[in-house]
Amino acid sequence: MKTWKLLFALMMLTFVAACSNDQPVEFSDSFETAVETAEGTTVNMYMWGGDEGINDYIDDYVAPRVNEEYGVELNRVAMDTAEFIRQLSLDQKADRQVGTIDVVWINGDNFRNAKQAGLLRGGLMERVPNATLLNETAQQTDAGTPTDNLELAWGNVQFILHYDAERIQNPPTTFEELRRWTEDNPGRFTYPEVNDFTGNAFVRHLLYERYGAQLTDDPTIDEAFWDDLKAWSPHLWKEGQTYPKTLEQLDQLYASGEVWMTMGFNERRAEAEVTKGIFPKETRALLLDHSIASTHFLAIPFNAPNPDGALVLIQELLSPDAQLVKQGPDYWGDGTSLDLTKLDEADRQAFKELGDGVTYPDTEQLRERSIPDYGPDVIDAVREEWPRVAK
């Protein structure tokens, strides 16, 4: 009888624990108090974990620094963005006011979804002192969605292709030429399927080639566009029978020499890969007609258990020092989200001295060909309609 009772009590306990809804943990009134309360706590940062350089930047550079400066333990959790947004939305449905996630790395359609569902905390600009240094244009909108102070810009990048110059002597210079190039070199090019962030962006570049900016107002895509894309697919890797599921898979194909081009957001992404000997030695940037500029952001969920710790971490991530190392070639190569004119002379100079890597595109050209991203509606439309290309 005793065991039976114990078991019953245990079950009830789990039940009660699962249903409890505590009050949410609020921010401290000022950043100074936040620093005090944050000391000795742990901050859980949830972020996409598919890139070694990015992971190392957080683990080897940022984590020791926040620990030293603020006594805050940083715990990086690798998870696909859509997945933790989903987890937050489940938390919300269950009225779980004290969750597990303190800081998220987010942008684009995921931000749109999180914003619509009310999953993020507002008022970040006033709470993080370094936010005043941010580039105001970058901070304003996230792929067409106004940020409304729900997230702070962390980095600023542009879309770029990379190719192996040892195998390709005369690289294409436009998307049209890329098409012809694949006809002469069948199977040597492909892009990730469109559920992948990068794959979707590649298709949006093709859309921009045909429609220009007009698609922003009216996201209807002609049948003919998809028919053309379908007609192109036999020239791609595996004759278009399948596409890499993720950018990592495409990078792997590129690293092994099976395909001769890869792509991605961040014009500096290949530098570290080449230095480490993962990408071919002769990897060079390939800038075509236009390149989508994209900003990525940091946000704090509605049920963050340690919001003050989150503020401290974001303050550190937006500091000129941390941004400088982030943009440098050692870890990540991610463009800064700060407005260089707002920095003091020494910091500004340090950014200028970072210089160019061999795999970087021409900075001037890159800026000239930069285009703003379409809104999330186009991302959705591509997701919905592209599958017929892969059939």
Partner 1 sequence: MLRSNVALTIIVSLLPLASLIFLGMEALGTDWGALFTDETWRDSLFITLYVVGISTFLSLVIGTWLARVVVQKRWRFTSAILRIPMFVPHIAAAYLFWLLFSGGGIGWVEANERNYMTVILTYIWKETPFVFLMMLGTYEQLNRGYVEMAKTLQLSRFDQFKHAEFPFLIKPLLDSTWILIAFVSFAYEIPALLGVTYPKLLGVLAYERLSTGLYLEATEPYAVALIWTCLVGMGVLVSYILTSSIRRRIERGVRR
Catalog residues that contact partner 1 under the rule CB under 8 A: 1, 3-4, 7-8, 11, 80, 82-83, 85-86, 89, 109-110, 112-113, 193, 195, 238, 241-243, 245, 256, 258, 376, 379-380, 383-384, 387, 390-391
Nearer to partner 1, 106 or 322 (CB): 106
Sign of CA dihedral 357, 362, 368, 372: negative
Q: How many helices (H) and strands (E) does the chain have?
A: 19, 10
Q: How far is the CB of 281 from partner 1 (least distance, A)?
A: 20
Which of 70/84 has CB closer to partner 1? 84
d(CA 31, CA 15): 38
Rounded to an integer, what distance in angstroms lies between the CA atom of residue 174 and that of residue 202?
Answer: 13
Beta-bridge mates of residue 12: none
Q: Which is nearer to partner 1, 25 or 79 (CB)?
A: 79
- Cα distance between residue 118 and residue 104, in whole Å: 14
Closest approach, Cβ 236 to partner 1, in A, equals 11
State the nearest-atom distance from the C-beta of 80 to partner 1, in Å: 7
**CA distances (Å), 178 to each of 159, 171, 189, 239, 288, in order?**
16, 8, 9, 16, 9
CB-count exposure of residue 213 (10 Å: 0-12, 13-18, 19+) = exposed
Q: Which is nearer to partner 1, 109 or 273 (CB)?
A: 109
Asked if 339 and 135 count as a contact pair (C-beta separation under 8 A), the reply is yes
Least separation in angstroms between residue 13's CB and partner 1 is 14
Minimum distance from residue 195 beta carbon to partner 1 (Å): 5
Contact 261, 286 (CB under 8 A): yes
Nearest to 88 by CA among 74, 77, 99, 79: 99
Q: Please state the closest distance from residue 257 (CB atom) to partner 1, in A.
A: 9
Residues 38, 73: Cα–Cα separation, whole Å: 10
Cβ–Cβ under 8 Å, residues 335 and 156: yes
Query: Where is 263: in which H helix or E strand?
Result: strand 261-265
CB of 216 to partner 1, least distance (A): 18
How far is 352 from 370, CA to CA, in rounded Å?
Answer: 20
- Which secondary-structure segment (H or E) carries 158? strand 151-164
**Rounded least distance, CB 256 to partner 1, Å:** 6
Please tell me the distance from the alpha carbon of residue 77 to that of residue 272, in angstroms, as a whole number.
Answer: 23
CB of 11 to partner 1, least distance (A): 8
Helix axes 197-211, 223-232, angle to 10 degrees: 120
Query: Looking at beta carbons only, is 118 or 387 nearer to partner 1?
Result: 387
